[in-house]
Amino acid sequence: MAQPNWNLLHRDTQAVRVAVERSQYGENSEALYLTSGYVQPSAEAGARRFAGEEEGYTYARAGNPTVTSFEQRLAALEATEAAVSTSSGMAALLMMCMGLLKAGDHVVCSQSMFGSTIKLIGSDMAKFGVESTFVSQTDLAAWQAALRPNTKLLLAETPTNPLTEVCDIAALTEIAHQAGALLAVDNCFATPALQRPAELGADLVIHSGTKYLDGQGRVMAGAICCSQQLVDEKFIPVLKSCGMTLAPFNAWVVLKGMETLDIRMRAQSERAHQLALWLESHPGVARVYYPGLPSHPQHELAMRQMSGLGGAVVAFDVKGDSPELARTNAFQVLDSMQLLSLSTNLGDTKTLCAHPASTSHGRLSEAQRQAAGVGQGLIRVAVGLEHLDDIKADLERGLSLI
Ligand SMILES: *Cc1c(COP(=O)(O)O)cnc(C)c1O
């Protein structure tokens, strides 16, 4: 049977149909190839494959058909030429650093990136002589001012965790390219269902597949979406020598998860929006952070950049006249929950609630936390697929006591 022209099909269709490699049995669902080695058709062919002169799998550290299917489907959704996958989101960020940077290079990074990313750039890469400057994510002048002649990479995340700050990807691309640097965007929160950074100019799109791509809280995975040239020349060599390989089983789970990414993101974003509106009018709540609300500082930019939806993560400050009281009130809300999960993960069909000040941002000093805008009364809700009324009722249990 002839193959369709994948580029002409809609993204919903691509999410379900791209990169189905059928074996001789004609299975309809994607096959899971659990093998670490491959039998070569001849010694000559084996030699050519190892030399990179002929297509063909050699050893699973460098490639596996199920893993390839995941990479091709994600690249289609992100509108990039190619993708390379890794064992986790952090492994993708590590691979990016190892592939693109060397001692003496400089990175400009948003100060509100995921906590482990800040540690990777600011501490781990610093050990190998990579310099970095952290800037306020939404302040384009600060990004510009941080540039140096040796700046090779700008790294942003939008919306950010937990305060959902949004930055202008197209404007950051301009700043990066004028300086001869690349722009990488961590698209974990929005996913390609809502936002495609490459279409706005970003050179690299980073994913934690652990979150919404899997979408059901089962396995860890990561990926970099970018040009075929960057994959072939910068990242595959790192994968071969460092081995941050995605396991075929995990690739298969995430591949199947992506089939429902669009409808999950829409359904979860709608619930998050309704929850944000309800929280904003609640007497126990001091402030709500959600890109879909007109009160959000970058609301218009977010709506332009994120397909008109705000994403599935809502954060809010409970009332409390002192940090101690705010913390007590936040803990009361979390400890009164009977249904929702007290968990620092996100991107699950089950709604997850967390207290950032004592978990993801717990290692910071109070002053650093204040600078990051993470107060003691802040609660982050990664909204899942439960009925909205049940989510509200579970939060109301503790909120009504404030
Ligand atoms: C979770 C997360 C990561 C790290 O991904 P892992 O799969 O947990 O290694 C990176 N960036 C963002 C925004 C995340 O939420």
Percent with pLDDT over 90 in the chain: 90
Beta bridge partners of 86: 222
**Residue to probe by mutation, ligand 1, list 189, 210, 254, most atoms within 8 Å of CB:** 210
Ligand 1, pocket-test mutation among 211, 220, 313, most atoms within 8 A of CB: 211
Residue nearest to ligand 1 atom 8, measured at CA: 89
Give the three-state DSSP class for 341.
Answer: strand
Q: Collapsing DSSP states into helix, strand and coil, what is residue 257?
A: helix
For 396, the token pair is 């109301």
Q: Tell the residue nearest (CA) to atom 2 of ligand 1.
A: 208
Residue 3 — pLDDT band, cuts 50, 70, 90?
confident
Q: Which CATH number does 261-399 carry?
A: 3.90.1150.10
Q: What is the residue whose two structure tokens read 């059928």?
A: 22
Percent of the chain with pLDDT over 70: 100
| Mutation to probe ligand 1, out of 90, 163, 165, 380 (largest number of atoms < 8 A from CB) | 90
Mean pLDDT of 16-30: 92
Confidence of residue 242 (pLDDT cuts 50, 70, 90): very high
Contact 296, 290 (CB under 8 A): yes
Strand locations in 88-167 (E):
106-110, 131-135, 151-157
In the block, residue with structure tokens 């084996």: 46
| Gap from CA of 161 to ligand 1 centroid (Å) | 10
Distance 115 CA to ligand 1 centre (A): 9
How remote is the CA of residue 330 from the centroid of ligand 1, in Å? 24
pLDDT in tens, 103-141: 999 999 999 888 889 999 999 999 999 999 999 999 999
pLDDT of residue 296: 97
How many residues can be counted in the chain? 402
For residue 65, report the distance from its CA to the centre of ligand 1, in Å: 25
Take residue 126 and report the two structure tokens written for it.
């610093």
Cα 217 to ligand 1 centroid, rounded to whole Å: 13
Q: What is the edge-to-edge ordering of all strands in the sheet holding 352-354?
A: 285-289, 313-318, 378-382, 352-354, 341-342
Other C-beta atoms within 10 Å of 180: how many?
10
The residue contributing the CA closest to ligand 1 atom 1 is 208
| Mean pLDDT of the chain, nearest integer | 95
Q: With contact defined as beta carbons under 8 Å apart, do 148 and 175 qualify?
A: no
Residue 363 has pLDDT above 80, yes or no: no
What amino acid occupies position 218?
R
Q: Residue 233 gets which letter from DSSP?
A: I
Task: Give the confidence band of 308 by pLDDT, cuts at 50, 70, 90.
Answer: very high
Report the nearest atom of ligand 1 relative to the CA of 90.
9
Question: For the segment 60-88, what is each residue's pLDDT rounded down to a tens digit?
Answer: 999 999 999 999 999 999 999 999 999 99
Kindly indicate whether the domain formed by 8-260 is annotated with CATH number 3.50.50.60: no
Confidence of residue 2 (pLDDT cuts 50, 70, 90): confident
- Cβ atoms of 346 and 211 within 8 Å: the answer is yes
CA nearest neighbour of 203 among 153, 141, 143, 151: 153
Count CB atoms within 10 A of the CB of residue 52.
10
Do the Cβ atoms of 190 and 311 come closer than 8 Å? yes
The Å distance, Cα 90 to ligand 1 centre, comes to 6
Q: How far is the CA of 155 from the centre of ligand 1 (A)?
A: 14
The two tokens of residue 60 are: 């699973």
The amino acid that residue 135 corresponds to is: V
What is the value of pTM for the model shown? 0.95
Spacing of C-alpha 395 from chain mean position: 26
Q: C-alpha dihedral over 13, 227, 239, 115, to 10 degrees?
A: -80
- Nearest partner of 240 among 82, 76, 86, judged by Cα: 86
Cis check for the bond before 162: say yes or no (omega within 30 of 0).
yes
Return the residue matching tokens 């899997």.
214
Determine the average pLDDT of the residues in 276-299.
98
What pLDDT shows up at residue 1?
75
**Best mutation site among 113, 114, 220, 348 for ligand 1 pocket (most ligand atoms within 8 Å of CB):** 114
Long-range contacts of 390-394 (CB under 8 A, 24+ apart): 390/339, 391/271, 391/275, 391/339, 391/340, 391/351, 392/275, 392/278, 394/337, 394/338, 394/339, 394/340
Q: What is the model's pLDDT at position 52?
A: 87
Q: Determine the distance separating the centroid of ligand 1 and the alpha carbon of 89, expressed in angstroms.
A: 5
List, chain by chain if needed, residues with CB within 6 Å of any ligand 1 atom: 88-90, 114, 117, 157, 161, 186, 188, 208, 210-211, 220, 222
Q: Which of 264, 183, 256, 257 is nearest to 225 (CA)?
A: 183
Strand partners, 182: 153
- What number does the ligand 1 atom closest to the CA of 210 have? 7
Alpha carbon of 118 to ligand 1 centroid (Å): 12
Domain ranges of the chain: 8-260, 261-399
pLDDT for residue 27 is more than 90: yes
Mean pLDDT confidence for 242-250: 98
